[in-house]
Amino acid sequence: MAKLYFKYGTMGSSKTAQALITKFNYEERDMKVLLLKPAIDTREGESVVRSRIGLSAPCIMVSADRDLYRLYLDEHRDIDVIIVDECQFLTPEQVDQLGYVSMECDIPVLCFGLATDFLTHLFPGSRRLFEIAESVTEIKSVCRCGAKATVNARFDEQGHVVFQGSQILIGGNDRYEAMCRKCWLRKKKEQEESGIQ
């Protein structure tokens, strides 16, 4: 019986690299992979998934209104597995649709992404994955202090940690750094004491 998998971690924890390695492992066994990425994430350009270590592969970009169950049934019934990068940007409905693919069509679905935003709030897609995925695995990362990183700290152009703003701001190492909660809160306190909001 196929499962819906959620593999989550902070920024820089090698989620995309692991998604691409997983894709390679399936293809090495002559299995067909459907690689998806939400269309909102255009950092690496259209229709490509690229990791920081240089791995890349073509993908299908899916808009928030795309029915992923129908995408599988109508266009990709010949595939053996679905892999989704940046799954935090899926809608809860799309996560449910992927759950139907795994349950009703016996196709494994592996979702890789963030759990929380820069304020430690769950993304809607990630929340739904925590609720319904049959397998949930954390991909661990480390803060500069050596502790486990759990926060996706967002920085402004001056290098200050940001504690307000919209949930989604597409960016990479230029805008985000994985930190432990203790360092994140310490940075917040230091900035407040210095009058930096």
Residues forming a β-bridge with 62: 38
The confidence score (pLDDT) of residue 148 equals: 96
48 or 30, higher pLDDT = 30
Digit-coded pLDDT (tens) for 42-85:
776 678 888 888 898 999 999 999 999 999 999 999 999 999 99
Amino acid identity, position 171: G
Return the CATH number of the domain spanning residue range 4-139: 3.40.50.300
Pairing of strands 81-85, 60-62: unpaired
SS (H, E, C) 125-190: HHHHHHHHCCEEEEECCECCCCCECCEEEEECCCCCEECCCCCCCCCCCCCEEEECHHHHHHHHHH
Query: Per mean pLDDT, which range of 17-26, 48-57, 107-116, 129-138 is the poorest?
Result: 48-57
Neighbours of 38 (CB within 10 A): 22
CA distance 36 to 49: 8
Per-residue pLDDT at 44: 67
What pLDDT, on the 0 to 100 scale, is given for residue 76?
96
Angle between helices 68-75 and 92-105 (to 10 degrees): 40
> What mean pLDDT is predicted for residues 144-171?
86
Query: Residue 182 pLDDT more than 90?
Result: yes
Residue 44: how many CA atoms within 13 Å on its side-chain side? 19
Domain limits, the chain: 4-139, 151-193
Q: How confident is the model at residue 175 (pLDDT cuts 50, 70, 90)?
A: confident
At 193 the pLDDT is: 82
Catalytic member of 44, 46, 86, 134: 86
pLDDT at 5 over 90: yes
Q: How many alpha carbons lie under 13 Å from residue 22 in its C-beta half-sphere?
A: 24
86 is known as an active-site residue: yes
Q: What are phi and psi of 185, to 5 degrees?
A: -70, -35
| Mean pLDDT estimate for the chain | 92
Q: Which two tokens stand for residue 35?
A: 């690689």
| pLDDT of 194 | 82
Output the CA angle 172-176-181, nearest 5 degrees.
145
Model confidence band, residue 173 (pLDDT cutoffs 50, 70, 90): low
Tokens, residue 10: 């902070």
